[in-house]
Amino acid sequence: MQVRLRGGRQEVIQVRGPLTVRQLAKQLDLDLESHLFVREGRVLTPDVRLGDDDQIEVYRAISGGTRR
């Protein structure tokens, strides 16, 4: 599968499937709590299975608030 990392590490890598999102995150050393995994515009849950033909985008989740 093609994995496009967005944010801090901007790169495209090839990963062999099948894997779950959880397994992919572990393989890439990414924390599920701070990254979003997206396929075809939909955010994926950790148990979703990914195949060799998938194109996945990984975004770093950023949170913040407003200043008062």
**Which 3-state string (H, E, C) describes 4-27?**
EECCCCCEEEECCCCEEHHHHHHH
Specify the fold of 2-60. Ubiquitin-like (UB roll) (3.10.20)
> pLDDT grade, residue 9 (50/70/90)?
low
Give the mean pLDDT of 38-57. Answer: 97
> pLDDT grade, residue 63 (50/70/90)?
confident
Helices (H) and strands (E) in the chain, counts: 1, 7
Rounded to whole angstroms, the Cα distance separating 5 from 60 reads 9
Q: For the chain, what percent of residues have pLDDT higher than 70?
A: 91
Structure pTM?
0.85
DSSP 54: -
